[in-house]
Chains A and B, each alone.
Chain A
Amino acid sequence: QKEVEQDPGPLSVPEGAIVSLNCTYSNSAFQYFMWYRQYSRKGPELLMYTYSSGNKEDGRFTAQVDKSSKYISLFIRDSQPSDSATYLCAMSSGGSNYKLTFGKGTLLTVNP
C-alpha cells in the first residue's frame, strides 16, 4: 500500500461547479498537509497548508483534514477555467521544509 493515495482522475466539470479532491494516507506520522497546483510544464505552487484537523478556508479554496480517518480534501467553489491543472496533495511529518510525500495528482479540467 502506498503511503498516499490520490485518485488520478481525470476530472472534468463545468464552470461554476464545486470540485472535491481527496487523498488518503496510511502513515500516522504525517502531521502537515499541503495542496499544490501544477500547470502543464510548470513546477508545483502551494495552495493550502494545514496542520490540525478541521477546515481552513482561503478564498474559493477550502482544505479539510480528518486525522482520525487519515483523509484530506480540497474543495474549490465557483470553479473557473483557470483552475484547470493537476492538483497534488502532499504530506510531511516535520513541517513543510521536511521531505514531502506526494499523491499522484488529479488532473482537473473546468469547461467554460
Chain B
Amino acid sequence: ETGVTQSPTHLIKTRGQQVTLRCSSQSGHNTVSWYQQALGQGPQFIFQYYREEENGRGNFPPRFSGLQFPNYSSELNVNALELDDSALYLCTYTHPSYNEQFFGPGTRLTVL
C-alpha cells in the first residue's frame, strides 16, 4: 500500500454537472499531482500543487481546477462535465526521501 487514499472510488455524473474528487496522504507529503487516465491510455498530467500553490499544469482547460489544503490533502474539481471526461483520475504524492511519486488507487468517473 502506498498510503495515498482517494475518494470516492467510483461515481457517475451527467453531462454539464460538476464533480469534486479528493486525495490525501497518510504521511502528509507536500507535493501532490493529479493525472487523468482514459481507457487504454497512459495517465496524462493535469496539474501539481506544492504547499497549496499550483506548481505546473498540463494541457487541460480551466474547467479543471484544484486545491491543496494546509494538511496537504487535495481536491480536483471539474465543471461542465463532458462525455470525454470519463476516465480514471489518479493522484500522486512525492516521497521526500526517495524522490518518488506514489499513486493512489484512483477514482473512476463516468459521465453519461
Known: A95-B99, A96-B94. 16 other contacts (CB 8 A): A4-B42, A42-B106, A43-B4, A43-B90, A45-B2, A46-B101, A46-B102, A90-B42, A96-B101, A97-B31, A97-B94, A97-B99, A102-B44, A104-B42, A105-B40, A105-B41
Interface centre among B4, B58, B94, B103 (most CB of A within 10 A): B103
Q: Which of A54-85 contact B (CB under 8 A)?
A: none
A102 pairs with B43, CB closer than 8 A: yes
Residues of B within 8 A of A (CB): 2, 4, 31, 33, 35, 40-45, 48, 56, 58, 90, 94, 99-106, 108
The answer, yes or no, to whether A6 is at the interface (CB within 8 Å) is yes
Q: Which of A9-58 contact B (CB under 8 A)?
A: 36, 41-46, 49
- 29 inter-chain pairs at a CB distance below 8 angstroms, sorted by A residue, are A4-B42, A42-B105, A43-B103, A43-B104, A43-B106, A44-B43, A44-B90, A44-B103, A45-B103, A46-B100, A88-B43, A95-B99, A96-B94, A96-B99, A97-B31, A97-B100, A97-B101, A98-B56, A99-B33, A99-B45, A99-B56, A99-B58, A100-B35, A100-B101, A102-B42, A102-B43, A104-B40, A104-B42, A105-B41
Contact status of A99 and B2, CB under 8 A, knowing A46-B100, A49-B100, A104-B40: no
B99 pairs with A8, CB closer than 8 A: no
Which residue in B42, B43, B56, B103 is a CB contact (below 8 Å) of A6? B42
- Note all chain A residues with C-beta closer than 8 A to B104: 43
Q: How many residues of A contact B (CB 8 A)?
A: 24
A84 to chain B, nearest CB (A): 17
- Note all chain B residues with C-beta closer than 8 A to A90: 42
- Note all chain A residues with C-beta closer than 8 A to B103: 36, 43-45
A103 pairs with B105, CB closer than 8 A: no
Residues of A within 8 A of B (CB): 4, 6, 8, 36, 41-46, 49, 88, 90, 95-105
